[in-house]
Structure 1
Amino acid sequence: MQRMSGLCVGAVIGTVFIFLSVDESLSSPLAIVLRVLAAVTLAGVVVMWLLGVKVAQSGGTLKAAPNTAESFFGRRYALVVATEAALLFIGLTVLRSWGLPEQVNIAWLAFVAGVHFIALVPVWGERGLLIPGMVLIMIGVAGFALAATTALKWVPVASGVLSGITILAGSTAYSWRTLTSMR
């Protein structure tokens, strides 16, 4: 169930990315639609988590669990998260000290989130994390590229909304895969 709990956390983060990144750059109806879709997707992941809890309580387990419970959120995971937190703090401090616009922060957040997923590949033995990791890194880089142009106002949409969609899609897909692999 730790995996499903982690996926719920991921879905919350993806939803937050969308809620905080939808701004005046998008029309109000589109912003509302994106927020509603994010909330509905988050609710779907939570429902899958609840179903997983029910299966686990009735003695169900994962058919193929590559990692033990200790290693899933163990010391190596904590090291990845601590490094991520340090990168976020240091990076945002540096961006601010350089006088860069606030919109660039979301590009840094997307980039670091991508690095986080890639760093978790050897920790969790989940090669599938390479896909969202690389996508998020590319989204972050694209946000920095946009910030260097006159399209600065689109950085939150490009880096924030697309990151949120990527994380929500991954959380949903992995939640479904995990739930359907329980017996």
Structure 2
Amino acid sequence: MQRLSALFVGAVIGTVFIFLSVNESLSSSLAIVLRVLAAVALTSVVVMWLLGVKVAQSGGALRAEPNAAEGFFGRRYVLVVVAAEAALLFAGLTLLRNWSLPEQVNMAWLAFMAGVHFVAFAPVWRERGLLIPGVVLILIGVAGFALAAATALECVPVASGVLTGVTILAGSAAYSWRTLTSMR
């Protein structure tokens, strides 16, 4: 259930990225379509999470449990990793602000940090599959910085934010399905 709960959290974060990043540079109809698709994907992950809860309550478990010693969200995770990520996230945002960079660049930093999060946890959770979205998100963050450097600031939230949200949400939905179907 920890895995499904983590994917549920990921789906919420992906949806938030999409809702916050759709801006006036997109047509209103495309913005509506993106928001509706995000809501549908989030709903599907919620349904899979609820089905997973039902299976777990009836004695079911994953065929292949996560190998991490304390599970996904042990005390060490919260104390060390979340604190380190928060420090890096806010330190980076502070540096960007101190360098007087436009606010749109923050979304590129958030995408980059989300990618680092996934890449760092691939070996910790012994889930090589996390490397794919991690590398994609790092590249999306770098692309956002490149767009900002090319003075295409209005594109940074869409490129870094929407693409980050789509990557996280699609991965959460796909892995939720895989996890749910592997429960016995």
| Superposition TM-score, scaled by structure 2 size | 0.96
The secondary structure found in structure 2 opposite 1:72 is: coil
- Counterpart-to-counterpart distance in 1, 2:4 and 2:55: 12
How far is 1:23 from its partner? 0.3
Query: Does 1:94 pair with 2:116?
Result: no
Q: 1:1-20: CA deviations, max 9, x gaps?
A: 11111101000000000000
Match of 2:81 in 1: 80
Greater mean deviation of Cα atoms: 159-168 or 115-124: 115-124
**1:161 is matched by which residue type in structure 2?**
V
The alignment-based identity, stated in percent, is 81
Q: For 1:66-122, what per-residue CA distance to the aligned partner results, in whole angstroms no more than 9, with x for missing partners?
A: 326833212453222221111110000000000000000000000000000011112
The one-letter code sitting in structure 2 at the alignment partner of 1:156 is P
1:26 maps to what in 2? 26
8 Å CA contact 2:68, 2:125 repeated in 1: no
Q: Is 1:149 matched up with 2:150? A: yes
- The answer to whether the 8 Å contact 1:80/1:119 transfers is no
- SS in structure 2 of the partner of residue 100 of structure 1: coil
Secondary structure (helix, strand or coil) at the match of 1:36 reads helix
Structure 1 spans left out of the alignment, 5+ residues: none
Count of residues paired in the alignment: 183
Q: CA deviation at 1:65?
A: 0.9
For the Cα contact (< 8 Å) 2:108–2:144, is it kept in 1?
Answer: yes
Q: Give 2:120's aligned residue.
A: 119
The CA deviation at 1:150 is: 2.7
Output the aligned Cα RMSD. 1.2
> Taking structure 1 as reference, are residues 156 and 93 closer, same or farther at Cα in structure 2, changes over 3 Å only?
same
